Structure 1
Amino acid sequence: MTANPILLQKKYARVICRFAEKVSISLDDALAFFYRSDVYTLVSEGVSDMHCMSDEYLAEDLEIEYRDKARSL
């Protein structure tokens, strides 16, 4: 199932804002990370209806991915 592109963009904005708050980074850094993340890939491709998950759930997934990538550096 695919989401309405306009609604999806609004969801991205909410998730990015929440993610930036959770990991205490700037919105610019959060935006850059989001568009290179596995979470973005899954949501944008409609995998497992990830776009139906709550904003908080997606922000938590981003936080986990962010911390995992930081540890691997």
Structure 2
Amino acid sequence: MEDNQQHLLEQLANTKMPFGKYKGKYLIDLPEFYLVWYRNKGFPKNKLGEMMHLVYEIQLNGLEDLVRRLKI
């Protein structure tokens, strides 16, 4: 895996939701229904939205445990 991809996954594993009902929860641990809701509504148009979309794709493919292992 390239260094920048690994860095992105490490960042994803260690980033917490900054607002809302799940404030303080790691993005990788967000409930699937919440990410599906955002998928239908539209993810935020910023870095957080990009990361949430990536978590959605990771969960969709059942790979979240691989990312959770990267938590510091």
* TM-score of the pair, normalised by structure 2: 0.31
* TM-score of the pair, normalised by structure 1: 0.31
